[in-house]
Structure 1
Amino acid sequence: MSALACLRVVVRSDQTEYSDEALGHLVAKFTAAFLEVRWSWPRKFSLINPYAFLLNDPRAAELDTAELGRLSAELHDHLFGVAEAGGSDVTVLLYEGEDSAMAQFADLDEAQLLQAMTDPAAAPPGGRLSQITPDGRRLQLPPVETETTDAAVGQTGAGAARGMDRLPNVEAVQGVYYSAREIFVADVVASTPAESRAHYSLVDGDDHLPADPAAFDADCVIAAFRFLAESRSNTPLYLPISFSTILRPSRRAAYAAVLSILPASERRRLAAAVYDVPRAPSFHALRQLHEVLDATFSAIDLRTHDPAFEIDQLHAEAVSSVTLVLPQAEPERRLLVLKRFISKMEAYKRRRIWPGVTNVRTRRELETALEAKMPFVTGPGVCRPQNEALGGRAWRTDQLPVMPLVETRRPLPA
């Protein structure tokens, strides 16, 4: 039992300013990065040409299209900006048939594909052509009158339920506060799946960390495009990077592929927030981080739960900053951890590495950090999830925390 199909991405090339060569390169790079994360092992994919990929699922008789639905919307946002409701210049097609027929389908040009979507005779014979909708449904092409039946959508069971109910992720940012000047100097990006009961965040503590770090990090890369375009200033955006995941040899290439879709021209506005860093990361691990991240990010922040993080073992300016994540614990315990971290601030100064603290929840914690002249503070006691970036905005400390300034695109889960 093994399911095979040819995935085709159809882009309205007349609606872009890219050359044919540049457009093909972008589509291929983005689609490959998307599949690296969404089309997980033991499922496989391979590039046929910039617009066509061969998909394989050795465990299934038919491909589950629930995860593929997001490709059209996310690729549209990347190439054209956020789509209007119900509109997109990107179409995702799936062709299932003999190997020779799939090879012919992969070679069809844009005009031939558009004709095949309405004329059965225009598609290679002996196969089945479907369109994958943004909510993950499979629509038979050309359309049939009984499209609403299971046979028409070609999807059953749990996959159909997920596809029919899929909503866009909730994208948000939370400001990084620089206490010396009472100003927000950066934002931390988050992206929460529609089905999640709590919002995801790097700055709100362990209860808000993602169940699937690699998928979360990839979703935040997608979210970054909107915030880069909409931000009122040139202050940095911090994107989550899972320390333990990116250092796995089997996952490092996938991370590199995902990060490669970020525009190189925006490197100075992008920073990496590397989370779940151990007390004493090795020199080898840090070198691997730099090898993967330096081409994309202008700064690297290490986030650790250990107040005794071995800063003296790092070379000067080995990273831009180290941020302590306050624990999920009783208030007095949290303050003790914070003060222990504060006691090592001189060591950070010697290494020319900025210290910071996150998951700040109470006024007392905030005041303790400010009195110690902790440069950077984040957390729900500083800034709640926002729909737009705060970087560059002055904000008095007595007016913290910042509550949502504008209504989100849909209510954030509690």
Structure 2
Amino acid sequence: MSALACLRVVVRSEQANLSEAMFSALVAKFTSAFLEVRWSWPRKFSALNPYAFLLSDPTASELDTAELGRLSAELHAHLFGVTDDESAKVIVLLFEGEDAAMAKFAELSDGELERAMVEPAAAPEGGRLSRIAIDGTRLQVPPPEGSNPAEAEDEVRPRRRPAPPRDREPNVEGLQGIYYAARQIFVGDVISSTPGESRTRYSLVDGEEHLPPEAAAFDADCVIAAMAFLAESQADTPLYLPVSFSTLLRPSTRAAYAEILSILPHSERRRLSAAVYDVPRAPSFQALKQLHSALDEHFSAIDLRTRDPAFEIEQLNPEAVTSVTLVLPQAEPERRLIVLRRFLSKIDAYKRRRIWPALTNVRHQRELDLALEARLPFVTGPAVCRLQSKPMGGRSWPVDQLPVPSMAETLQKASA
């Protein structure tokens, strides 16, 4: 028998400086994008209204809520930033029961929901109400009379897999600047987002070992991070968001990407660029057509990132994309220089196609010097700019003072 439940997101629009229509649309888009990534097939979901979603799992008799724990924390950070203000708290409720009862629950007003959380009789008959804690456990709502919270929590702990730690760290979100050597200025930033519990920091500009194990989840987290950076900075320089080439073009995951990208406001399109990674040596015309179809609505520029210095630029139409970036390999310094020289040998072909060539994962001074000598316009990597908490785009920086230290390094130096 398929497990069914109604998910409700409880958060008030007056807590944010947005209209009710814009606020509800933002909650709906974010929650849908979150579920697309984490409520994986064969499980399904459908939106009942901006704040209510019907969840199903045909393989279980009871829903596994482990992944749902992150929704409240991530939605809270997305809407309000990081704050200790309890009044801005996002609550995720789950109602399981008869179809008619779930339909009634989906339409409860904020006031009716508040009463249902303290008075059992206020919830629709024929169902069970629980709250999803940040670690994915179910907490009975309201708690059983005479029980303590720990006992109530033990009774409703997820069964199929262990829940994440209760003290899960928030994602580490940051940016790394894109340097335009001809003018010695940063002209944009590449966004990254790393789960707090990860031992490896995820990044598109620091080489293969920093690529995420789950591309779709990483890309979705970076979309969420981009929303905060767009709100915090009014700079006109672009923010580059990671987009996995193979995951985006796979039919089974293309719809999920469409939902994720729909969060991005169209009014900010000019400030957003797509950094499409893991691109093969010779992407087909059909693949590039599908890429543009999926991305043009949201991004003003498309950068293709490839690990192959022999990328077949001659096969691309003029201005088929904005730029192509070579990712230097994880190899000995001499091998990296050989790969770079091979890429630089084709610069004239890039000029003929009116497509910018660029370089990332720059780690050594010799690599930077060779790129500057060849007048390669754009460079990124640990030898250029380390992780920042604010965009570098628009800031002048002398080439002889690269790399820009990370915020942690700057603070450590100041306290020394």
TM-score bracket for this pair, using the shorter chain length: over 0.9
User: Runs of 4 or more off by more than 4 Å in structure 1?
Assistant: 150-153, 156-160, 406-409
Cα distance in 2 for partners of 1:405, 1:89 equals 29
- Asked if 1 retains the 8 angstrom alpha-carbon contact of 2:137 and 2:163, the reply is no
- Residue of structure 1 in register with 2:99 after alignment: 99
Q: 1:236 aligns with which of 235, 238, 260?
A: 238
1:40 aligns with 2:40: yes
- Residue of structure 1 in register with 2:388 after alignment: 386
**CA deviation after TM superposition for structure 1 residue 390, in Å:** 1.1
Q: Where do 1:209-228 residues align within 5 Å?
A: 209-228=211-230
- Residue of structure 1 in register with 2:189 after alignment: 187
**CA deviation after TM superposition for structure 1 residue 78, in Å:** 3.4
- Asked if 2 retains the 8 angstrom alpha-carbon contact of 1:239 and 1:270, the reply is yes
Change (3 A) 1:102 1:205: same
- Residue of structure 2 in register with 1:412 after alignment: none
**Structure 2: which amino acid aligns with 1:315?**
N
With 37-46 and 296-305 compared, the bigger mean Cα shift is at 37-46
**CA deviation after TM superposition for structure 1 residue 64, in Å:** 2.4
1:141 aligns with 2:164: no
What SS does the aligned partner of 2:32 have? helix
- Asked if 1 retains the 8 angstrom alpha-carbon contact of 2:303 and 2:322, the reply is yes
**CA deviation after TM superposition for structure 1 residue 311, in Å:** 0.8
Cα distance in 1 for partners of 2:152, 2:208 equals 41
**Structure 2: which amino acid aligns with 1:333?**
R
- Asked if 2 retains the 8 angstrom alpha-carbon contact of 1:267 and 1:298, the reply is yes
**CA deviation after TM superposition for structure 1 residue 81, in Å:** 3.9
**Structure 2: which amino acid aligns with 1:292?**
A
What SS does the aligned partner of 1:322 have? strand
Cα distance in 2 for partners of 1:86, 1:138 equals 20
- Aligned CA RMSD, in angstroms, stands at 2.0
1:277 aligns with 2:272: no
- Residue of structure 2 in register with 1:245 after alignment: 247
- Residue of structure 1 in register with 2:59 after alignment: 59
Cα distance in 1 for partners of 2:100, 2:35 equals 23
Cα deviations by residue, 1:295-321 (Å, 9 ceiling, x for unpaired) = 111100000011111111111111110
Change (3 A) 1:405 1:17: closer
With 356-365 and 162-171 compared, the bigger mean Cα shift is at 162-171
- Residue of structure 2 in register with 1:154 after alignment: 156
Cα distance in 2 for partners of 1:306, 1:319 equals 17
Cα distance in 2 for partners of 1:407, 1:138 equals 41
- Residue of structure 2 in register with 1:310 after alignment: 312
- Residue of structure 2 in register with 1:334 after alignment: 336
**CA deviation after TM superposition for structure 1 residue 274, in Å:** 0.1
Cα distance in 2 for partners of 1:221, 1:57 equals 27
**CA deviation after TM superposition for structure 1 residue 229, in Å:** 2.0
**CA deviation after TM superposition for structure 1 residue 17, in Å:** 4.3
Cα distance in 1 for partners of 2:86, 2:406 equals 27
- Residue of structure 2 in register with 1:260 after alignment: 262
- Residue of structure 1 in register with 2:112 after alignment: 112
What SS does the aligned partner of 1:164 have? coil
Question: Which runs of 5 or more residues in structure 1 are unaligned?
Answer: 410-414
Cα deviations by residue, 1:18-50 (Å, 9 ceiling, x for unpaired) = 444433333222211111111111111112222
Cα deviations by residue, 1:156-182 (Å, 9 ceiling, x for unpaired) = 467554152422111111111111111
Cα distance in 2 for partners of 1:380, 1:338 equals 16
Change (3 A) 1:345 1:85: farther
Cα deviations by residue, 1:310-337 (Å, 9 ceiling, x for unpaired) = 1111111111100000111111111000
**Structure 2: which amino acid aligns with 1:12?**
R
**CA deviation after TM superposition for structure 1 residue 60, in Å:** 2.9
Cα distance in 2 for partners of 1:35, 1:349 equals 43
- Asked if 2 retains the 8 angstrom alpha-carbon contact of 1:136 and 1:163, the reply is no
Cα distance in 2 for partners of 1:220, 1:408 equals 24
Cα distance in 2 for partners of 1:380, 1:190 equals 14
Cα distance in 2 for partners of 1:98, 1:408 equals 57
- Asked if 1 retains the 8 angstrom alpha-carbon contact of 2:172 and 2:194, the reply is yes
Cα distance in 1 for partners of 2:367, 2:17 equals 50
- Residue of structure 1 in register with 2:414 after alignment: none
The number of residues matched between the two structures is: 409
What SS does the aligned partner of 2:150 have? coil
**CA deviation after TM superposition for structure 1 residue 153, in Å:** 6.1
- Residue of structure 1 in register with 2:49 after alignment: 49
Cα distance in 1 for partners of 2:382, 2:278 equals 19
Cα distance in 2 for partners of 1:102, 1:33 equals 22
**CA deviation after TM superposition for structure 1 residue 14, in Å:** 2.8
**CA deviation after TM superposition for structure 1 residue 382, in Å:** 1.1
**Structure 2: which amino acid aligns with 1:27?**
V
What SS does the aligned partner of 1:172 have? strand
Change (3 A) 1:115 1:152: farther
**Structure 2: which amino acid aligns with 1:393?**
R
Q: Where do 1:309-388 residues align within 5 Å?
A: 309-388=311-390
